């Protein structure tokens, strides 16, 4: 019985081999393996986080601006401005084509100068903005008939 026990013991000893324990770092920052791709990944993550923060701040600022533009007072002011501009354009058309048409005139509107002239065939509008840029519009009078 002891012989059998020794033979089993001898067989198990011959198969009980082990590798030496070695310590390896898992982080590429310490081991040096794939370090550049590791740093690139970290850089991309930081960049994406910063971009998301900037996008969130921009979206919040846009939302605040939209809410400010959508107040009752802001809508009232836009509506009033629209009606005033419509009235001014109607007066301009009446001056050009009304019962007593004027051959020329000008209007100052928020730093812009709008001058008009009528020569019998054409209506010439000249708009000079605050920066001094000039826009000329020439319209034939015959095109205003239906």
For every residue of 71-93, DSSP letters joined together read: SHHHHHHHHHHHHHHHHHHHHHH
- The β-bridge partners of 140 are 122
What pLDDT digit, counting tens, does each position of 84-93 carry?
Answer: 889 888 888 8
Report pLDDT digits (tens) over 71-83. Answer: 888 889 889 989 9
Q: Residue 8 — pLDDT band, cuts 50, 70, 90?
A: low
106/114 Cα distance (integer angstroms): 5
So what's the pLDDT on residue 18? 67
Check whether 110 has a pLDDT greater than 90.
no
Quote the longest CA-to-CA distance of the chain: 137
Instruction: List 134's β-bridge partners, or say none.
Output: 128
pTM for the whole thing?
0.46
Cα–Cα nearest to 133, from 110, 106, 105, 112: 112
Q: How confident is the model at residue 9 (pLDDT cuts 50, 70, 90)?
A: low
pLDDT at residue number 6? 66
Task: Compute CA 90 distance to the chain's CA centroid, rounded to the nearest angstrom.
Answer: 37
| Residue-wise burial string across 21-59, b where 16 or more C-beta atoms lie within 10 A, e elsewhere | eeeeeeebeeeeeeeeeeeeeeeeeeeeeeeeeeeeeee
């Amino acid at each position: 019985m002891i012989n059998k026990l020794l033979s089993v013991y001898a067989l198990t000893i011959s198969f009980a081999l082990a590798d030496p324990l070695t310590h390896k770092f898992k982080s590429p920052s310490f081991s040096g393996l794939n370090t550049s791709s590791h740093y690139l990944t970290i850089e991309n993550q930081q960049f994406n986080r910063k971009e998301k923060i900037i996008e969130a701040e921009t979206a919040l600022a846009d939302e605040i601006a939209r809410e400010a533009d959508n107040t009752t007072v802001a809508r009232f002011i836009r509506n009033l401005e629209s009606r005033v501009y419509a009235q001014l354009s109607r007066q301009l058309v009446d001056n050009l084509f009304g019962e007593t048409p004027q051959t020329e005139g000008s209007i100052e509107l928020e730093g812009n100068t709008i001058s008009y002239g009528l020569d019998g065939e054409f209506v010439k509008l000249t708009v000079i903005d605050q920066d001094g840029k000039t826009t000329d519009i020439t319209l034939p009078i015959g095109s205003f008939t239906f």
